[in-house]
A = this chain, B = another copy of it.
Amino acid sequence: MSGNTPADMAIIARVYRSLRLIRRTEEEIARIYPTDKIKSPVHLSIGQEAVAVGVCDVLNDDDVMSATYRGHAAYLAKGGDLKQMMAELFGKATGGAKGKAGSMHLVDMKANVLGMSAVVGTTIPIAAGYAFALGRERKGRIVACFFGDGATEEGVFSETLNFAALHKLPVLFICENNGFAIHSPLSNRWATEALCERVATYGITPHLLDRDDVFTIRETAQKAADEIRHGSGPQFIECKTYRWREHVGPGEDYNDSYRKRADLEPWQAHDQVKLTGGMLDAAERQTIDDEIEAVIADAVQFAEDSPWPDPEELFNHVFAK
């Protein structure tokens, strides 16, 4: 992304806005959290925004996105409704799922955001199944399926890769490898780090990114998505990234035994929000930042002001009509 053409500048601005919106929204969630207004676990993506943004920026509105309980970033990057998300975290009736989902099960089908799951790996075959249906539809729509490094250890991941490759499903798998499953490092979980080589044995084109540079991710996703639309079958991106906050909850945990603040520093040094912002001129950036603050404040206010769901709501949606 040289930033020399107006088109490039538009992309940079759009990408920056998305990165910044996610970062600030989650910082706001972390700020509010101690008030107990968000009575549910939150798994923040702070530090990992670039993966979601780089990929989702190349998706069409009618493409579909699937993510995990650590899904705020992907949800917003795909265009999920922020007010409904905030109200959902507050457990209000105006939440995307009327307060039934909370942070871990965000969904927004209007934005083609598939429902997220708190059981690791469960969304992978479901995303593939959705892609299966899109494939039959033959309109060139694809599914982008995000998951963590730990999810690749579940058998269903391998089963899904085999099926997706066998039937050339239009799905882009993205593994956000942040090196940890809760506090467990890769070395406790992976026999080798040859994940991309393994994926390739299914006939799936892998792309290994050892840093979460947002524009590299974007270009990789762009190329992969185009090929998938044209029938290449599934492709796979493994992107190394880093979780800046604790596994669950609003805080940092560098004083806990499993990692050191020094581990964070190289990642902070190429903080994608800062770097991308730096590519814009100060005035434009300020406008974006101000607009984002307003949007977030709005969403929080909306959540605050929204009513709790009625007691009867407990019994709705057990069965579809």
Chain A interface (Cβ within 8 Å of chain B)? Answer: 153-159, 161-166, 189-192, 194-195, 197-198, 201-204
Contact = CB atoms under 8 A, between A and B. Distances in A.
Nearest to A194: B201
A118 to B, nearest CB: 19
A159 B204 CA distance: 19
Contacts of A203: 191-192, 194
Interface centre among A159, A161, A162, A191 (most CB of B within 10 A): A191
Contacts of A166: 189-191
A159 B165 contact: no
A281 B208 CA distance: 60
Contacts of A189: 162, 166
Contacts of A197: 201
Nearest to A156: B155
Nearest to A163: B191
Contacts of A163: 191
14 contacts: A154-B155, A154-B159, A155-B155, A165-B192, A191-B202, A191-B203, A192-B202, A192-B203, A194-B202, A197-B201, A198-B198, A198-B201, A198-B202, A201-B201
Contacts of A153: 159, 162
A104 to B, nearest CB: 23
Nearest to A161: B191
For the complex of A and B, the 9 pairs showing the least CB-CB separation, nearest first, are A155-B155, A165-B191, A158-B158, A198-B201, A194-B201, A166-B191, A192-B203, A155-B159, A191-B202
Interface centre among A166, A192, A197, A201 (most CB of B within 10 A): A201
A164 B190 CA distance: 10
Contacts of A155: 154-159
Contacts of A162: 153, 189-191
Given A155-B155, A166-B189, 5 more contacts: A155-B156, A162-B191, A194-B202, A194-B203, A197-B201
A173 to B, nearest CB: 13
A155 B197 CA distance: 18
A200 to B, nearest CB: 8
Nearest to A195: B201
A132 to B, nearest CB: 14
A201 B152 CA distance: 14
Contacts of A202: 191-192, 194, 198
Contacts of A161: 191
Nearest to A121: B155
A321 to B, nearest CB: 34
A1 B139 CA distance: 60
Interface centre among A154, A155, A203, A204 (most CB of B within 10 A): A155
A189 B163 CA distance: 8
Contact of A192 (B158, B190, B192, B201): B201
